[in-house]
A and B are shown apart, each in its own frame.
Chain A
Amino acid sequence: MSLKRISAIFRHNTRVLVSDPGPIIVTTLMPLVLMTFLQGMGRTVLESEGFTGASGAEHVVPGMAVLFSLFGVIHLGMSFFQEHGWGTWDRLRASPASPIEILLGKMLPPASIILIQTVVLFAAGALLFDLDIRGSVVALAAMVLTTTVFLIALSMLAVALFTTISQLSAATNVLAMILGGLGGALAPLSVLPDWAQTIAPISPAYWSLMGLRAVLLEGGGMQAVLVPVGILLGASLVVAALAASRFRFTDEKAWV
């Protein structure tokens, strides 16, 4: 495995992503807009849960960050489907880069974008929405990183399963809303219907938000996020294994 080749593919794919920044801008600006509308609702619900003095940002900032990270699955998907649409996929495969080098070089830019997007949202939360990080920043970073790892695994599964960009786009939107909504990213879990609260743990967003709330609202450290981190990493392994079993370098994908 050559770090130089991975770095070359990484830089190249970052350029491709940045050369058409529309999707990145949307998944970064939209949550900021929604935070403005939803902060009051977040404050009311958190106060009803006993978190007096909460600004509401403790719910809406991680909620929107996780929801729009789920929408970020499209970044990696597009990166693969564009290669097929542009006729460059076979060129890349015929190059000296090995399959693992190609995969790593392609996965890292979308992962970086999800991370940067999350950092921007938390920074905006602190500056504009009175977000107070009461717990450990290291624990917060651990939650953000493991959530990103899971999303990259999920992205690869989506790339493996779908054959057209339309399928991928539709599935990403539906999945993001279902997993995000069920996990408490839109409205806090306490106001969801009983049945939704019961099945919420099947959503990775649930565990992600559980860890983030533990840090932001309860002042938790690494100890407080061990369970969600462990579950997200376990889920990442399962999803990555599924993706690996279905993904074929020789599969045809259509940019339609």
Chain B
Amino acid sequence: MLRIRNLEKSYASHDVLRGVDLDISPGEIVALLGPNGAGKTTLASIVAGLRRPDSGSIRVGDIDVVRNAGRARTLLGLAPQHLGIYPTLTARQNLLLFGRIAGVSGRGLRDRIDEVSTGLALSDLLDRKAGILSGGQQRRLHTAMAMLHRPRLLLLDEPTVGADVESRRQILAFVRDLAARGTAVCYATHYLPEVDDLDATVAVLNGGRIVYRGSVSSLARAHGTSGVRLAFRGDPPDLAGFETDGSHAFRTVDQPGVEIARTLADGTAWVSRLESVEIIRPSLETAYLALTVPTTTETEEQTHVA
């Protein structure tokens, strides 16, 4: 449904996207991960036809977005990162606009509004002014406006930012439901647990490039790290090979059990202050951090350039 090849975009002298390739199939949810400034929003904006790329190709279905953004937009729905609703109008009037623009009208439009408002728990709020809804309700309305017309490609840029737990659950459930009906979803997020909740595959964007694309399990296997984390009452002692953070000491090791046994055997002086021992297994989080946290050398290079 979405096919991106060698996409490049820069602002002034800053390269935001440097040869991005990405495919999303119908019914697939791709969690687009990456640190702030990685280019996730720029990528979504270009796919939605809001910005032009410097080079590269993007196809939504069989439509070239660069040459025919208007036609491509008939196939997609976008919920930008920043909230976008009409506060002086009711939730229903907000939905009506985007339904009608997408060519849905009459009974069909009423049915879609019923469907999306039920799925996102907006049914009782439809005739309230959008401006007086709570933050979570506004976020659900904002997301509903992108989904109302059942787009074939849905671009969601951090759709659960500021949403409460229940709003987040409802948004994720509705996204899964849309995908089950064949919508391809590109879901940019910083909340890693959502990736599992969505049963999504992963694309990690860092430094303007997709540095990993695949399933969560392969990502964890390939890049996840294991380690040992010790929590102390008071400051951690000076342990060889461990990094400290507050009252915690952490060490990356291949065999955490062996490391724990070795460390505790030497710990006669501080073991009374030890509060907990945790084995860190390879996970999406550790893999993500391994892929995106700059190495010491990279940080030094960036500092030097700056």
The residues of A with any CB-CB pair to B shorter than 8 Å are 4-5, 8-9, 12, 15-16, 19-20, 86-91, 93-98, 250
Residue from B76, B85, B97, B103 having most chain A Cβ neighbours under 10 A: B97
User: Across the interface, do B100 and A4 meet the contact criterion of CB distance under 8 Å?
Assistant: yes
Given A19, A20, A95, which contacts B101 in the complex, CB threshold below 8 Å?
A: A95
Closest to A13 in B: B97
Closest to B102 in A: A96
Residue from B51, B76, B100 having most chain A Cβ neighbours under 10 A: B100
B74 to chain A, nearest CB (A): 4
User: Across the interface, do A91 and B70 meet the contact criterion of CB distance under 8 Å?
Assistant: no
Which residues of B (261-287) have their CB < 8 Å from a CB of A?
A: none
Surface stretch bound by A, among B7-15, B87-95, B117-125, B164-172: B87-95
User: Across the interface, do B97 and A8 meet the contact criterion of CB distance under 8 Å?
Assistant: yes
Chain B residues, CB < 8 A from A9: 97, 101
User: Across the interface, do A96 and B50 meet the contact criterion of CB distance under 8 Å?
Assistant: no
Chain B residues, CB < 8 A from A97: 101
- Complex formed: what's the CA distance from A110 to B201 in Å? 47
- With A86-B85, A87-B85 given, can you name 15 additional A-B contacts, CB distance below 8 Å? A5-B101, A5-B103, A9-B101, A16-B86, A16-B88, A19-B88, A86-B84, A90-B45, A90-B84, A95-B73, A95-B102, A96-B102, A96-B103, A98-B70, A250-B50
Given A12, A19, A250, which contacts B51 in the complex, CB threshold below 8 Å?
A: A250
- Complex formed: what's the CA distance from A12 to B89 in Å? 9
A95 to chain B, nearest CB (A): 5
- Complex formed: what's the CA distance from A232 to B211 in Å? 59
Chain B residues, CB < 8 A from A89: 84
B61 to chain A, nearest CB (A): 14
Given B70, B86, B100, which contacts A8 in the complex, CB threshold below 8 Å?
A: B100
Given B50, B105, B145, which contacts A90 in the complex, CB threshold below 8 Å?
A: B50
- Complex formed: what's the CA distance from A96 to B63 in Å? 14
B115 to chain A, nearest CB (A): 19
- Complex formed: what's the CA distance from A8 to B149 in Å? 15
Given contacts A8-B97, A96-B101, contact A91 B145 (CB under 8 A): yes
- Complex formed: what's the CA distance from A19 to B130 in Å? 12
- Complex formed: what's the CA distance from A96 to B98 in Å? 9
Given B73, B82, B87, B96, which contacts A94 in the complex, CB threshold below 8 Å?
A: B73
A13 to chain B, nearest CB (A): 9
Main SS at interface, chain A: helix
A251 to chain B, nearest CB (A): 12
Main SS at interface, chain B: loop
Chain A residues, CB < 8 A from B89: 12, 15-16, 19
Closest to B52 in A: A250
Chain A residues, CB < 8 A from B74: 96
Given A86, A91, A96, A250, which contacts B87 in the complex, CB threshold below 8 Å?
A: A86
Q: For the complex, is B2 an interface residue (Cβ under 8 Å from A)?
A: no
- Complex formed: what's the CA distance from A33 to B297 in Å? 73
- Complex formed: what's the CA distance from A35 to B93 in Å? 38
Chain B residues, CB < 8 A from A4: 100, 103, 105
Closest to B84 in A: A87
User: Across the interface, do A91 and B84 meet the contact criterion of CB distance under 8 Å?
Assistant: yes
A116 to chain B, nearest CB (A): 20
Q: For the complex, is B19 an interface residue (Cβ under 8 Å from A)?
A: no
Q: For the complex, is B224 an interface residue (Cβ under 8 Å from A)?
A: no
Which residues of B (126-147) have their CB < 8 Å from a CB of A?
A: 145-146
Closest to B98 in A: A95
Q: For the complex, is B20 an interface residue (Cβ under 8 Å from A)?
A: no
B132 to chain A, nearest CB (A): 13
11 A-B residue pairs with Cβ-Cβ distance under 8 Å, sorted by A, are A5-B103, A8-B97, A8-B101, A19-B88, A19-B89, A20-B88, A86-B84, A87-B84, A94-B76, A94-B80, A97-B101
User: Across the interface, do B50 and A88 meet the contact criterion of CB distance under 8 Å?
Assistant: no
User: Across the interface, do B98 and A90 meet the contact criterion of CB distance under 8 Å?
Assistant: no
A113 to chain B, nearest CB (A): 16
- Complex formed: what's the CA distance from A73 to B159 in Å? 36
- Complex formed: what's the CA distance from A19 to B129 in Å? 10
Closest to B105 in A: A4
- Complex formed: what's the CA distance from A35 to B127 in Å? 40
B103 to chain A, nearest CB (A): 7
Q: For the complex, is B35 an interface residue (Cβ under 8 Å from A)?
A: no
Q: For the complex, is B163 an interface residue (Cβ under 8 Å from A)?
A: no
Residue from A15, A16, A20, A91 having most chain B Cβ neighbours under 10 A: A91
Given contacts A5-B101, A8-B97, contact A96 B70 (CB under 8 A): yes
Chain B residues, CB < 8 A from A88: 84-86
- Complex formed: what's the CA distance from A9 to B83 in Å? 20
Closest to B47 in A: A94
Given contacts A19-B89, A86-B86, contact A94 B48 (CB under 8 A): yes
Closest to B44 in A: A94
- Complex formed: what's the CA distance from A232 to B49 in Å? 37
Q: For the complex, is B16 an interface residue (Cβ under 8 Å from A)?
A: no
B159 to chain A, nearest CB (A): 13
Q: For the complex, is B179 an interface residue (Cβ under 8 Å from A)?
A: no
- Complex formed: what's the CA distance from A19 to B94 in Å? 13
